[in-house]
Structure 1
Amino acid sequence: MNVAFDHLVHLTERPEQAKTAFEQWGFTAIHGGRHPSWGTYNALCCFEHLRYIEWIGIADEQTAKTCGNPLIDQLVADRQEGNGFSQFAFRTNNIGAVAAHLKRNGFTPIGPLPGSRERDDGKRLTWSMLFIEDDTDGAFRYPFFIQWGDGDDVRMNELAPLMRHPIGSVSLSSISLYTLGLERAVNGYRRLFDLPEPDVGRDEAGAYAELAVGGIAIRFYEADRRHPSTRPFSCRLVGMQEQRRIEIDGATYIVSKP
């Protein structure tokens, strides 16, 4: 399956505050816009290779609870646990081919579902989203897929100024997430993306299995069963001249040198 990592979703009560905090640390960040049909709004921080962080907040809880979009359903559920990373997406230029791939590999796709918002300059951004019917019994969560209305070349030109940061050329290189069944999660992702055996190792968060997908590394950890979670808990940003650990709104950003 030909996909590239697109973005990591960070649920927060006040996206504008996360944006301001990142600007104070030397990043370029922007207000995104509102999604009236979902009851949400966002702010963004873009990195090399069209990767970005989306800080998303719920402005209209009733709309969010009833809109029927699987991502928003997940955000509403995660909100009960608190702020933090929630989901992540891979980009494709052929969402129909991805849906066919999912079916061949034994998954049930949901969608594509439309999405849109209006930028501050008046341009309407459009996209399609594809989800996977959950067959995990809550042991882990699958990503979703997105196809933008504009091609990568158009988006690269428009977003180029936003991918430049005062602190350096920054890229999002990895995501770490919890599972309630490490082997099952890894095998699920291998089946999803047709991947080989994972690399294994241990770091400050514990033992992990790592898969390379769409230009980034995904590290899977077994959750502490006293505090069960299947959410991503940290990501790594590389390209800065100094190392830093940023804790904000329930999520950890590990900043490191190239």
Structure 2
Amino acid sequence: MNVAFDHLVHLTERPEQAKTAFEQWGFTAIHGGRHPSWGTYNALCYFEHLRYIEWIGIADRQTARTCGNPLIAQLVADRQEGNGFSQFAFRTNNIEAVAAHLKRNGFTPIGPLPGSRERDDGKRLTWSMLFIEDDTDGAFRYPFFIQWGDGDDVRMNELAPLMRHPIGSVSLSSISIYTLGLQRAVNGYRRLFDLPKPDVGRDEAGAYAKLAVGGIAIRFYEADRRHPSTRPFSCRIVGVQEQRSIEIDGATYIVSRP
């Protein structure tokens, strides 16, 4: 399956405050826009290869609860646990082919579902989203897939200024995720993406299994049973000389050297 990592979703009460914090640390970040049919709004930080962080907030709870989009339903559920990373997406230029791949590998796709918002300059952005029907019994969560209305070449040209940061030439390189069944999660992702066996290691968060897909590394960890979670809990941004750990609204951003 030909996909590239697209974005990591960070649920927060105030996306504009996360944006301001990132700007203070030397990143370029922007206000995104509102999604009236979902009851949400966002702010964004772009990196090399069109990867980005989306800080998303719920502005209209009733609309968010009833809109029927699986991502927004996940955000509403996660909100009960608190702010932090929630989901992430892989980009494709053929979402119907991804849906067919999912079916061949034993998954049940949901969608494609349409999405859109209007930029400050008046341009309407459009996209399609594809989800996977949950068969994990709550042990882990799958990503979703997105196809943008504009091609990568058009988006690269438009977004190039936003991928330049005062702090340096930075890139989003990895995501760390909690699971309630490490081996099940690894096997599920291997089946989803047709991946080889994972690498294993240990870091400050504990033992992990690592898979590489779509240009990014995903590290899977067993969650603490006292505080069960299946959410991403940290990401790594590389390309700066001074390493630091940034905590924002329940999520950890590890900024490090290349």
Work out whether the TM-score is over 0.5: yes
| CA-to-aligned-CA distance 1:54-106 (integer Å, 9 cap, x gap) | 00000000000000000000000000000000000000000000000000000
Partners in 1 of 2:201 and 2:245 — Cα distance? Answer: 21
Once the two structures are TM-superposed, the CA of residue 241 in structure 1 deviates from its matched residue by: 1.8
Once the two structures are TM-superposed, the CA of residue 155 in structure 1 deviates from its matched residue by: 0.1
| CA-to-aligned-CA distance 1:138-174 (integer Å, 9 cap, x gap) | 0000000000000000000000000000010110000
Partners in 1 of 2:167 and 2:33 — Cα distance? Answer: 25
Partners in 2 of 1:30 and 1:21 — Cα distance? Answer: 12
Partners in 2 of 1:49 and 1:222 — Cα distance? Answer: 30
Runs of 4+ in 1 over 6 A off after TM superposition: none
| CA-to-aligned-CA distance 1:216-249 (integer Å, 9 cap, x gap) | 0000000000000000000000011211100010
What's the counterpart of residue 239 of structure 1? 239
TM-score relative to the length of structure 1: 1.00
What's the counterpart of residue 169 of structure 1? 169
| CA-to-aligned-CA distance 1:102-144 (integer Å, 9 cap, x gap) | 0000000000000000000000000000000000000000000
Q: How many pairs does the alignment contain? A: 258
Please give the residue correspondences for 1:66-85 in structure 2 after superposition, counting only pairs within 5 Å. 66-85=66-85
* Aligned partner of residue 252 in structure 1, secondary structure: strand
Kindly indicate whether the alpha-carbon contact (under 8 Å) linking 1:167 and 1:241 is maintained by their aligned counterparts in 2: no
> Is residue 41 of structure 2 the alignment partner of residue 55 of structure 1?
no
Partners in 2 of 1:12 and 1:83 — Cα distance? Answer: 5
Kindly indicate whether the alpha-carbon contact (under 8 Å) linking 1:40 and 1:58 is maintained by their aligned counterparts in 2: yes
Partners in 2 of 1:130 and 1:251 — Cα distance? Answer: 25
What's the counterpart of residue 135 of structure 1? 135
| CA-to-aligned-CA distance 1:190-234 (integer Å, 9 cap, x gap) | 000000000001111000000000000000000000000000000
Partners in 2 of 1:256 and 1:143 — Cα distance? Answer: 25
* Aligned partner of residue 113 in structure 2, secondary structure: strand
* Aligned partner of residue 140 in structure 2, secondary structure: coil
* Aligned partner of residue 81 in structure 2, secondary structure: coil
Q: Which ranges in structure 1 are unaligned for 5 or more consecutive residues?
A: none
Partners in 2 of 1:200 and 1:25 — Cα distance? Answer: 32
Partners in 1 of 2:15 and 2:231 — Cα distance? Answer: 19
> Is residue 104 of structure 2 the alignment partner of residue 107 of structure 1?
no
Partners in 1 of 2:183 and 2:147 — Cα distance? Answer: 30
TM-score relative to the length of structure 2: 1.00
Partners in 2 of 1:135 and 1:142 — Cα distance? Answer: 10
What's the Cα RMSD here? 0.3
* Aligned partner of residue 166 in structure 1, secondary structure: coil
Partners in 1 of 2:137 and 2:114 — Cα distance? Answer: 27
Once the two structures are TM-superposed, the CA of residue 16 in structure 1 deviates from its matched residue by: 0.2
